Chain A
Amino acid sequence: MLEFLLGHSIWAFRNGELAFARGWPLWLLIALVALGLAAILVTLLRRSELAIWQRAVIATLQFAFLAVVLTLLWRPVLNVERIRDRENVVAVVIDDSGSMNVARGKQASWRDQGVQALQSSGALKQIAASSELRLFAFDDRAQSLEALGELHGGNGATRIGDALTTVTQMAASVPMAAVVLVSDGAENGGSLSEATLSRLAATGVPVHTIGVGPEQPDNDLELEQLQVPDSAAAGETLRAVVSVRHQGQRSTRVRIYDGEKLIAAQEVPLSEKAGLSTASVEFPAGEAGVRDLRVVLDAARNETNTLNNERRAVLDVDGRPRSVLYIEGEPRWEYKFIRRASDGDRSLRVVSSVRATPNRFYRQGLKSGDELKEGLPTTEAELDSYDAVILGSIEAAAFSHDQHEWLKAYVDRRGGSLMLLAGRDGMGDGGWGRVPVAGVLPARFPGGSQPSYGTLTSKARLTVYGQESPIGRLDANAERNEKLWQEMPALGDFQIVGALRPGAVVLLEAVSGRQGAQRADPLLVTQRYGRGSTYLLATSTTWRWQMRLPLEDQRHELFWRQLLHALSAPSPQPISLQPDHTVYADESTAELEAQVLDETFKPVPAAAVSVSATSDSGAIAPVTIEPSGRDDGRYRVLLQATKPGLYRVVMAAKSGDKVLGEAVTHLRRVDGVREQFGVFQHRPMLERIAHDTGGRYWRLEDLAGLPEAIRYSRAGMVERQTLDLWIMPAAFLLLALLKLGEWLLRRHWRRL
């Protein structure tokens, strides 16, 4: 009906450009319209028998009539481009991945629903009548088809970006008018990046996307995301962060298995509305070795797809506790309580050296009597052997020039974490703003002769960043966590850290002053620098959290353990082997990065590196090693995980006859999993592809309009056409309605 009234296809109006074909000047049209308006107004002003508003209505109708007539006299036309018949190619790309081929009870699979809609709407036939049709199917790779009957029902991953890239590359050799994509949009191969979308848009070929499948899964729980560290120290307590997509269920139970052994279980509340809920579940890292983790959600009632209730993870547990070097300038309670908090955590080894007397250090937590014999590290290698370093109330002058250089390199090159604590000889008051390491710290200490350290009663408060950080997480529940922090006893001292550097992140604030006149100052600040991180803690009275709370309260211990783990966990090792991820779902090629450094974390020239990998079923995985070519001690390791299973990858490094060390890591290949997640129509993704490329998103029931939309495509071999608009039935109908309206109004007002 609309197309009858407009006289042309709606797509001609969407894609065409309006012009006037008569060639008369446009200013003349405007002048005549203005003149006509003046004549109408003058004429109507004399008709005093009508009220003003009535005359305004009549004037509007007459003016509209005159304007339409004059416009039609100028001969409006649409300049359109449309594809030439039988000279273009249209590619129809069918998503044949696992999620599209799952049987849906009595209903056809989503892939078949899409194909049937294309055929039953006549769209495919009409497209084929005007263009050459080329058919493609894809899952994790695209292939051409002779006929739709060749669709074989794949079960691989979905790589929409790769498929569209492959198909549109044809546009360079054949005139391609459009691509029609039939898919649920559940890209899971990581191929649809912003860069890919930009490249697709740059080809100029519009991609029309046809969405199949429901936009919301029905009665389904899905473990959409699982975050677990890939390494830990023996005895450490870890947190698995689970993101659960649900359809309004109130709660679910999360269970964590190591192989078949249950190691943790927790009831997780879900948000009231359907959507995504995130929670964390604590679990023990256990003894040294590999943890083959399985995180499982209990199935919802009558849930049909339970394969997406489970995700795998691999955790390498290091038997070596993480070592933290704590150098303190004076025996004080903060020192004692930091040591005490870490005592119960066997995954941490706090080696401390406290200057008990003016010329004597007292050492604790030593491996042997030779460790820190002089109180401070005497070689760079000795300093680099620690995973994190804490400096308490000790003046910078206590360290030699070399030791200051080592400290800076410790953060920048070695990748260690360095934390400075408040104190009478700490931070700026200890001269730490005037030594090389000052440049790597997250704040510029205040200058001047006024001490920055003093007594001040304040309360610690988590910032927005602190709420996200594991350091400040005293409870997995955000509300309870905030309450626990609010109830913390007050601190008794404070040190001004000065101006924060641009990359600094404040995790805790010290709130002081009376109600209504409170101020908040940075209390725990961190920043990344080079390969490592630096921290400032502007108090030395966290011991009050221990002394002023009941004996059984563990907040002080928990805070310090989490802080010490945050400091020491990211510490790289000289010989390391790191997979880009630990679980390869429906992937056979694993990529790892190996690094071979000496004890001072400098590259070893001409190191001999060997890597071997075997699965738990005994299969040997082929491995290739490529040096980075930059003499930085890095190597790229590619591993072919030929069969599903848990793989143990061992790297050995030698320099001449000297054994430099060994690194071991694990990864798992799982198959038939990826397509079980995100099993619903991802309409926003499909709309985005269509929008960026100049195409359109289509529902199955609207496909009748698709051939006409393709006909007016601007890609491929096109011809320009000029479509007259003055013959539009809608224009004549409008003129008739304007006059009829005026006549009826005059008759109604009895002023004919």
Chain B
Amino acid sequence: MVRLAYSDGGMGFGGFGRGGRSWTIDAPDAEFHLTQGIRRLTRISTFDPGDYADPDDVLALAPEDEDLLDQPFTYAVEVGRWFLSDEEAARMRDYLLRGGFLMVDDFHGTLQWEGFMESMRRIFPDRDVVEIPPDHEVFHVVWDLNQMVREKKQIPGIFPLMNGVTYEQDGVEPHWRGVFDDNGRLMVAINFNMDLGDAWEHADDPQYPQPLTALAYRFGISYAVYAMSH
């Protein structure tokens, strides 16, 4: 799994000590915890976060990096603020159509959706973003998650939870959306109005509800298995 180090046109804000870039949000704890979950619950061979000399290291690649083509699963956060150039969009289009998989997460409300779509339309000008039906294979590949999708079980960030709500901005209703290739393969999984990254990041935080963390793991792991099998 690799984090996508996208361009944000200087409008981003991010993790402490990472230059304020949006793509660094929740890093590295989110992928550290998710990777451990993948290692424990599946047979997928992933890198061992403990192997890193600096625990704060983040495995991240820019869209134009050739090594992205060796990565089966790419993770991007705060994509409401991404701003891909035409070249970056073309590289992402190539990566996804050749067989790559992108999961985007942690963006909320109408404004951020528009920001996300502005670059997404550049990646796929001729493809629609659609709701992933609850009975789609990605929600059954390991666990049957269709009921959660049907009930629109929102996985929130930790700060809204502290404020007693599960949404941010006007993103009240969660959406599992996607972009498919010509053969019906899900290439881009879009967690809209949700923050799975926080659920993974705070898996060891008593303030974050364990059932939501467990559910976030299930979605993340399902995406990973799907990416390795479809």
Residue ranges of B at the interface with A (Cβ–Cβ < 8 Å): 41-45, 69-70, 72, 94-95, 97-100, 141-142, 183, 224-225, 227-230
Are A356 and B141 within 8 A (Cβ)?
Answer: yes
* Nearest chain B CB to A430 CB, angstrom units: 13
* Nearest chain A CB to B106 CB, angstrom units: 25
* Nearest chain B CB to A342 CB, angstrom units: 12
Are A547 and B98 within 8 A (Cβ)?
Answer: yes
Given A356-B42, A357-B43: A332 and B228 interface contact (C-beta under 8 Å): yes
Are B42 and A331 within 8 A (Cβ)?
Answer: yes
A-B contact pairs, 29 of them (CB 8 A): A330-B43, A330-B44, A331-B224, A331-B228, A332-B45, A332-B72, A332-B228, A333-B72, A336-B99, A336-B228, A336-B229, A339-B229, A340-B99, A354-B229, A356-B42, A356-B43, A356-B225, A356-B229, A357-B42, A362-B225, A362-B229, A364-B229, A543-B99, A544-B70, A546-B98, A547-B70, A547-B99, A551-B94, A551-B98
Q: Residues of A contacting B100 with CB < 8 Å?
A: 547
Q: Residues of A contacting B70 with CB < 8 Å?
A: 492, 544, 547
Given contacts A358-B43, A547-B70, 16 further A-B contacts (CB under 8 A): A329-B43, A330-B43, A330-B45, A331-B42, A331-B43, A335-B229, A336-B99, A337-B99, A354-B229, A357-B43, A357-B142, A358-B42, A492-B70, A544-B69, A547-B95, A551-B98
Q: Residues of A contacting B99 with CB < 8 Å?
A: 333, 336-337, 340, 543, 546-547
* Nearest chain A CB to B127 CB, angstrom units: 14
Q: How far is it, in angstroms, between the C-alpha of A340 and the C-alpha of B70 when the chains are bound?
A: 17
| CB closest residue in chain A, given B72 | A333
Q: Residues of A contacting B228 with CB < 8 Å?
A: 331-333, 335-336
List A423-447 residues whose CB lies under 8 Å from chain B.
424
| CB closest residue in chain B, given A333 | B72
Interface size of A by CB at 8 A reads 27
Q: How far is it, in angstroms, between the C-alpha of A357 and the C-alpha of B98 when the chains are bound?
A: 26
Q: Any chain B CB within 8 A of the CB of A312?
A: no
* Nearest chain B CB to A558 CB, angstrom units: 16
10 interchain residue pairs of minimum CB distance: A331-B228, A330-B43, A547-B69, A333-B72, A331-B225, A356-B225, A355-B43, A331-B44, A547-B98, A357-B42
| CB closest residue in chain B, given A541 | B70
Q: How far is it, in angstroms, between the C-alpha of A391 and the C-alpha of B44 when the chains are bound?
A: 16
Interface string of A518-544 (1 = CB under 8 A from B): 000000000000000000000000011
Q: How far is it, in angstroms, between the C-alpha of A336 and the C-alpha of B230 when the chains are bound?
A: 6
Q: Residues of A contacting B142 with CB < 8 Å?
A: 356-357, 360, 362
Q: Residues of B contacting A360 with CB < 8 Å?
A: 142
Q: How far is it, in angstroms, between the C-alpha of A264 and the C-alpha of B186 when the chains are bound?
A: 36
Q: Any chain B CB within 8 A of the CB of A501?
A: no
Q: Residues of B contacting A543 with CB < 8 Å?
A: 99
Q: How far is it, in angstroms, between the C-alpha of A15 and the C-alpha of B32 when the chains are bound?
A: 95
Given A330-B45, A360-B142, A362-B142: A548 and B69 interface contact (C-beta under 8 Å): yes
Q: How far is it, in angstroms, between the C-alpha of A660 and the C-alpha of B142 when the chains are bound?
A: 39
Q: Residues of B contacting A336 with CB < 8 Å?
A: 72, 99, 227-230
Interface string of A314-340 (1 = CB under 8 A from B): 000000000000000111110111011
* Nearest chain B CB to A624 CB, angstrom units: 52
Q: How far is it, in angstroms, between the C-alpha of A335 and the C-alpha of B228 when the chains are bound?
A: 7
| CB closest residue in chain B, given A357 | B42
Q: Residues of A contacting B44 with CB < 8 Å?
A: 330-332
Are B69 and A551 within 8 A (Cβ)?
Answer: no
Q: Any chain B CB within 8 A of the CB of A380?
A: no
Q: Any chain B CB within 8 A of the CB of A343?
A: yes
Interface string of A275-317 (1 = CB under 8 A from B): 0000000000000000000000000000000000000000000
Q: Residues of A contacting B95 with CB < 8 Å?
A: 547
Q: How far is it, in angstroms, between the C-alpha of A389 and the C-alpha of B67 when the chains are bound?
A: 33
* Nearest chain B CB to A595 CB, angstrom units: 38
Q: Residues of B contacting A551 with CB < 8 Å?
A: 94, 97-98
* Nearest chain A CB to B228 CB, angstrom units: 3
Interface string of A150-174 (1 = CB under 8 A from B): 0000000000000000000000000
| CB closest residue in chain B, given A360 | B142
Interface string of A463-498 (1 = CB under 8 A from B): 000000000000000000000000000001000000
Q: How far is it, in angstroms, between the C-alpha of A153 and the C-alpha of B95 when the chains are bound?
A: 72
| CB closest residue in chain A, given B227 | A336
* Nearest chain A CB to B200 CB, angstrom units: 18
Q: How far is it, in angstroms, between the C-alpha of A331 and the C-alpha of B225 when the chains are bound?
A: 6
Interface string of A697-740 (1 = CB under 8 A from B): 00000000000000000000000000000000000000000000
Q: How far is it, in angstroms, between the C-alpha of A358 and the C-alpha of B227 when the chains are bound?
A: 18
* Nearest chain B CB to A365 CB, angstrom units: 11
* Nearest chain A CB to B139 CB, angstrom units: 13
Most chain B Cβ neighbours within 10 Å, of A331, A337, A343: A331
Q: How far is it, in angstroms, between the C-alpha of A335 and the C-alpha of B69 when the chains are bound?
A: 16
Q: How far is it, in angstroms, between the C-alpha of A356 and the C-alpha of B228 when the chains are bound?
A: 10
* Nearest chain A CB to B169 CB, angstrom units: 35
Q: How far is it, in angstroms, between the C-alpha of A617 and the C-alpha of B43 when the chains are bound?
A: 61
Q: Residues of B contacting A343 with CB < 8 Å?
A: 183
Q: How far is it, in angstroms, between the C-alpha of A297 and the C-alpha of B98 when the chains are bound?
A: 40
Most chain B Cβ neighbours within 10 Å, of A356, A364, A546, A547: A356
Q: How far is it, in angstroms, between the C-alpha of A337 and the C-alpha of B185 when the chains are bound?
A: 12
Interface string of A539-562 (1 = CB under 8 A from B): 000011011100100000000000
| CB closest residue in chain B, given A358 | B43
Interface string of A215-233 (1 = CB under 8 A from B): 0000000000000000000
Q: How far is it, in angstroms, between the C-alpha of A67 and the C-alpha of B45 when the chains are bound?
A: 93
Q: How far is it, in angstroms, between the C-alpha of A544 and the C-alpha of B45 when the chains are bound?
A: 17
| CB closest residue in chain A, given B185 | A340
Most chain A Cβ neighbours within 10 Å, of B44, B97, B225, B229: B229
* Nearest chain B CB to A607 CB, angstrom units: 42
Q: How far is it, in angstroms, between the C-alpha of A447 and the C-alpha of B230 when the chains are bound?
A: 35
| CB closest residue in chain A, given B101 | A336
Q: How far is it, in angstroms, between the C-alpha of A364 and the C-alpha of B97 when the chains are bound?
A: 21
* Nearest chain A CB to B69 CB, angstrom units: 4
Q: Residues of A contacting B69 with CB < 8 Å?
A: 544, 547-548
* Nearest chain A CB to B117 CB, angstrom units: 23
Q: Residues of A contacting B225 with CB < 8 Å?
A: 331, 356, 362
Q: Residues of B contacting A357 with CB < 8 Å?
A: 41-43, 142
Q: Residues of B contacting A337 with CB < 8 Å?
A: 99
Q: How far is it, in angstroms, between the C-alpha of A333 and the C-alpha of B70 when the chains are bound?
A: 10
Are A362 and B141 within 8 A (Cβ)?
Answer: yes
Q: How far is it, in angstroms, between the C-alpha of A355 and the C-alpha of B72 when the chains are bound?
A: 18
Q: How far is it, in angstroms, between the C-alpha of A122 and the C-alpha of B43 when the chains are bound?
A: 90
Q: Residues of A contacting B224 with CB < 8 Å?
A: 331
